[in-house]
Structure 1
Amino acid sequence: MILFRIWCVLSFVALSVYTAPVFMADPNLFPPFFGAIQAGGWQGQFNFDFMFMLTLSGLWVGWRHRWTAGGSALALLAFLGGAGFLSVYLLVQSVRCRGDVRQILVG
């Protein structure tokens, strides 16, 4: 579990370091993201695939929290926040669940 927690921290830090200057240069993500999907090609295919992974992440987080109001808010954050959100969420859950993987996955 310690390696998993280290991975969560490292992925959050790496993603934050990479994302901060990109966001500062161009804070409007949606036009290029959906524009690449609309244009076709491999970048659009990757974005389309990634959007479904974000959707699965959001659905899982919402389901795990029984679609309560808080769970629905977390689901939206999972969809919009991607790996940045999920790395922190899984780190917190791994501590709260004392490393019990079944508890982490199903709540």
Structure 2
Amino acid sequence: MTLFRLLLMTIITVVGVYTVFVVADHGLDLLPIFFGDIAKMEWPGQFNMDFFAFLTLGATWIMWRHHFSLAGIALGFCVFAGGAPYLSIYLLVASFQANGDVKEMLLGKRRAAA
């Protein structure tokens, strides 16, 4: 679990710092570029579509883990704004809340207990 937590902290740091540099150079106007690349049907768009699918899977998993409660749906939608750093923070917090129990971390307390 320690190595996994270190990986999560590395993702948070590396992607976070990278994002600061990109925002400083290009601003926050991501969506037209992101979806514009998808519309062009080229490799950058393919990567964006693949990444969007991963975001959708991550968001759906968080919503499911929280039994599609209002809070779970809200936490799930945050994946689309926060990407890998958000999901890494979520998993880091969940790992501590579950005291390192991977089953509970992935399934949630209720499903893990069943």
The answer to whether the superposition gives a TM-score over 0.5 is: yes
Range of TM-score over shorter length: over 0.9
Spell out the pairing of 1:3-42 with structure 2 (5 A cutoff).
Answer: 3-25=3-25, 26-42=27-43
In structure 2, the partner of 1:73 is 74
Give the whole-Å Cα distance in 2 for the aligned partners of 1:47 and 1:37: 6
Q: State the match for 2:84 in structure 1.
A: 83
- Point out 4+ residue stretches in structure 1 off by more than 2 angstroms: none
**Distance in 2 between the 1:77 and 1:86 partners?**
9
How many angstroms does 1:80 deviate by?
Answer: 2.3
The question of 1:105 aligning with 2:106 is answered: yes
Taking the aligned partners of 2:63 and 2:9, their CA distance within structure 1 comes to 23
> SS of the counterpart of 1:99?
coil
* Equivalent-residue separation in structure 2 for 1:10 and 1:21 (angstroms): 17
Q: Name 1:95's counterpart in structure 2.
A: 96
* Cα drift, residue 30 of structure 1: 0.2
**CA separation in 1, counterparts of 2:57 and 2:38?**
19
Aligned-partner Cα distance in 2 for 1:79–1:35: 17
Once residues 2 and 105 of structure 2 are traced to their aligned partners in structure 1, the CA distance between those partners, rounded to angstroms, is 14
Paired residues, number:
107
Matches within 5 A, 1:37-52: 37-52=38-53
Structure 1 distance, partners of 2:67, 2:81, is 19
| TM-score, with structure 1 as normaliser | 0.96
Please say if residues 57 and 79 of structure 1, whose CA atoms lie closer than 8 Å, have aligned partners that are also in contact. no
In the TM superposition, what whole-angstrom CA distance separates every residue of 1:7-38 from its partner, at most 9, and x where no partner exists? Answer: 11111011111001212332111011000000
Aligned to 2:111: none
Q: Percent identity?
A: 44
In 2, Cα distance between equivalents of 1:17 and 1:52: 24
- Whether contact under 8 Å (1:37, 1:47) holds in the other structure is yes
- Cα deviation, residue 58, structure 1: 0.3
Q: Is the 8 A contact 1:62 1:71 kept in 2?
A: yes
